[in-house]
Amino acid sequence: MYVLHGAASHGTPHTTPSHGGRSGSGVPSQSAPLTPPSAPVITNPPSPTLVPPAPTNPNSSPFSCDYWRAHPEAILALLGYWCTLGEFFGLPAVSAFGRDPSLLEALSNTRSDGIGALYREGTASLLNSLVNRNFALTTQKVREEFNAAVISDKAAATQAQLFKKANEGHLKHH
């Protein structure tokens, strides 16, 4: 391949091989002084806002029903999947409510009776017992008390109040 460099004095084109041959007087041409390239500007993208995982500090306070309801990602981080109340409390819990709600549904139920309160506060106590070894009740005790309370609305309301006290940190550790 040849590159056309201009016209010779006789009007015929002068060609030079493209592999580096030179024509002319042999004097190197002057070029602009070389300046080192400037350093590239690197900007870091803003850090995303991270949602903390389920509270696992064994010395942290217990968390209310409202906390757990407002932080479903903490439940998912704690358990790894969406499970139902029946998986934790068994058949008595399911039969008292009429169906087997997820833990989030149990926390969010709007029933105004003792059973509704038991589901909300009992579920919060269950989650608190799983994340805090110093919680007032063990997971087994929460299960036992929950299942014993579903026999009547009055028993459910009474137990819900005890669970609420535990969830608020007002019940001493057994």
* 104/12 Cα distance (integer angstroms): 89
Given this model, what pLDDT does residue 37 score?
A: 60
Q: Report whether 62 contacts 128 (CB < 8 A).
A: yes
Residue 39 token pair: 């350093």
- DSSP H/E element including 116: helix 114-131
**Whole-prediction pTM value?**
0.64
Residue-wise pLDDT tens digits, 107-146:
999 999 999 999 999 999 999 999 999 999 999 999 999 9
Domain range summary for the chain, segments of one domain joined by +:
65-167
pLDDT (tens digit, 9 = 90+) per residue, 14-49? 555 555 555 555 555 555 566 666 665 555 545 444
Residues 6+ apart with CB under 8 A from 1: 17, 18
